[in-house]
């Protein structure tokens, strides 16, 4: 087992062992009892059935409170540093499932401040611009406008600032250093930033003037921020936020280390045209053999195949069909070219629709945004 990996919100290296990560972070795996409880509220999302959203903090408590009639609010976010790709959409689609299933409010933070402070190549104007661009993709997923609040940190700071500094006062530099792996060369904005990511956990409570539970669906790399939040929440008069964590989304390059150029060739952006998507999928890393003859004889290896991962994460919600693809691959009954074509058809069908909704989002974007 490879233990040589690292996961923080600002650095992910090595091959992640997700079971080891749960131990390191001190979270809990989502077990079958919890899945049974979730099932009572509606059909289980494929990402739950397949263990993609696989870890949590205090999810039982969120459901206990909900059963008592005490609704939670959802909170998630996006660091607007560039265009949206399919991997970004996957956890947000899950967040929408939670909103639809539980009919709950969603606070969606766009951290233009964070991306400005953490990236040398981005100006604040650019991160803000990406915030508005990215908002279109978020809205296109179909979040309920009445139940969804989108905001850029720099435009909602007046509301958030008093709570941010109350949080900041309780967080020491030594905690930040230990949790995020920062050192003396980090700028002081990045040291302060986690207090800004903390505030939306409490926005619903602030609005209602009473303690409201908060559930955060997010990639597990974001957990360190909320570990800090959970330590200080009660001292600020709020509930600790609960979390539901996803494994990090795969790329079409497989799990090998990627250079920036391979990343561009294998990352499907939501605004890519048909030809580009086709080309990127054609170039995807698979578990195929060196020749068709060999693959027919020995079968492929879906366990390392990025096309299979895409199907698993998002594009083949039907378990029986997914299982058939898997066994056909292993038995050498389906070749990589055909499998890539099937994936392309599904991806393009989704993207064509997404791009249409993304255009329409331009008309309603202002209805989603909140500002000071």
Q: Residue 225 corresponds to which tokens in the numbers above?
A: 């921020």
Nearer to ligand TRP among residue 11 and residue 356 (C-beta)? 11
* Least CB distance to ligand TRP at residue 81 (A): 8
* Least CB distance to ligand TRP at residue 80 (A): 8
The residue within the footprint of ligand TRP, chosen from 216, 322, 347, 351 (CB under 6 A), is 216
Query: d(Cα 68, Cα 55) in Å, to the nearest integer?
Result: 24
* Least CB distance to ligand TRP at residue 222 (A): 4
Nearer to ligand TRP among residue 65 and residue 114 (C-beta)? 114
Nearer to ligand TRP among residue 45 and residue 78 (C-beta)? 78
Q: Site size for ligand TRP, by CB under 6 A?
A: 13
Q: How many CB atoms lie within 10 A of CB 26?
A: 9
Nearest to 47 by CA among 96, 104, 109: 96
* Least CB distance to ligand TRP at residue 156 (A): 12
Site string for ligand TRP, 51-90 (x = CB under 6 A): ------------------------xxxxx-----------
Nearer to ligand TRP among residue 165 and residue 331 (C-beta)? 165
Site string for ligand TRP, 2-21 (x = CB under 6 A): -------x------------
Phi-psi region of 47 (alpha: psi -120 to 50; beta: other; left: phi over 0): alpha
Pinpoint the alpha helices (H) of 213-305: 223-233, 260-266, 274-282, 292-298
Nearest to 291 by CA among 249, 336, 256, 242: 336
Does residue number 197 form part of the binding site for ligand TRP (CB under 6 A)? yes
The residue within the footprint of ligand TRP, chosen from 127, 222, 266, 306 (CB under 6 A), is 222
Nearer to ligand TRP among residue 181 and residue 332 (C-beta)? 181
Query: d(Cα 56, Cα 332) in Å, to the nearest integer?
Result: 38
* Least CB distance to ligand TRP at residue 78 (A): 5
- Is residue 306 within 8 Å of 288, Cβ to Cβ? no
Nearer to ligand TRP among residue 76 and residue 267 (C-beta)? 76
- Is residue 223 within 8 Å of 25, Cβ to Cβ? yes
Nearer to ligand TRP among residue 109 and residue 195 (C-beta)? 109
Does residue number 286 form part of the binding site for ligand TRP (CB under 6 A)? no
* CA separation, residue 110 to residues 116, 144, 169 (Å): 12, 18, 23
% helix, strand, coil for the chain, step of 5:
60, 10, 30
Does residue number 241 form part of the binding site for ligand TRP (CB under 6 A)? no
Site string for ligand TRP, 89-118 (x = CB under 6 A): --------------------x-x--x----
The residue within the footprint of ligand TRP, chosen from 21, 164, 218, 347 (CB under 6 A), is 218
| CA torsion, ordered 155, 160, 162, 163, to nearest 10 deg | -160
Query: DSSP for 307-336?
Result: HHHHIIIII---HHHHHHHHHHHHTT-S-H
What is the CA 282 to chain-centroid distance, rounded?
25
- Where do contacts with ligand TRP occur on this chain (CB under 6 A)? 9, 75-79, 109, 111, 114, 197, 216, 218, 222
């Amino acid at each position: 087992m490879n233990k040589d990996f690292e996961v923080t919100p600002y650095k992910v290296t090595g091959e992640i062992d997700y079971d080891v990560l749960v131990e390191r972070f001190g979270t809990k795996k989502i077990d079958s009892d919890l899945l049974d409880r979730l099932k009572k509220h509606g059909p289980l999302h494929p990402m739950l059935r397949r263990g993609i959203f696989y870890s949590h903090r205090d999810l039982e408590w969120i459901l206990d409170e909900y059963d008592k009639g005490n609704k939670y609010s959802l909170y998630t976010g996006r660091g607007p540093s560039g265009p949206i790709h399919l991997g970004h959409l996957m956890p947000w689609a899950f967040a929408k499932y939670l909103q639809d299933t539980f009919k709950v409010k969603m606070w969606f933070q766009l951290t233009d401040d964070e991306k400005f402070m953490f990236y040398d190549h981005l100006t604040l104007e650019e991160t803000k611009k990406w915030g508005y661009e990215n908002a279109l993709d978020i809205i296109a997923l179909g979040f309920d406008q009445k139940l969804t609040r989108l905001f850029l940190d720099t435009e909602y700071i007046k509301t958030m600032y008093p709570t941010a500094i109350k949080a900041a006062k309780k967080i020491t530099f030594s905690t930040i250093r230990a949790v995020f792996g920062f050192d003396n060369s980090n700028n002081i904005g990045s040291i302060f930033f986690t207090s800004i990511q903390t505030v939306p956990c409490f926005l619903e409570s602030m609005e209602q003037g009473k303690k409201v539970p908060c559930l955060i669906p997010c990639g597990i790399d974001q957990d360190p921020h909320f570990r800090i939040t959970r330590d200080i929440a009660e001292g600020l008069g709020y509930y600790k936020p609960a979390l539901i964590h996803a494994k990090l989304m795969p790329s079409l390059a497989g799990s090998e280390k990627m250079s920036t150029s391979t990343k561009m060739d294998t990352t499907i952006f939501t605004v890519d045209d048909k030809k580009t998507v086709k080309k990127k999928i054609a170039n995807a890393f698979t578990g195929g053999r060196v020749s068709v003859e060999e693959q027919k004889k020995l079968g492929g290896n879906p366990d390392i195949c990025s096309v299979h991962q895409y199907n698993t994460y998002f594009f083949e919600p039907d378990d029986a069909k997914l299982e058939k693809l898997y066994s056909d691959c292993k038995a050498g009954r389906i070749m990589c070219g055909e499998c890539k074509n099937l994936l392309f058809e599904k991806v393009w069908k989704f993207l064509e629709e997404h791009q249409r909704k993304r255009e329409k989002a331009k008309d309603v974007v202002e209805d989603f945004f909140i500002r000071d």
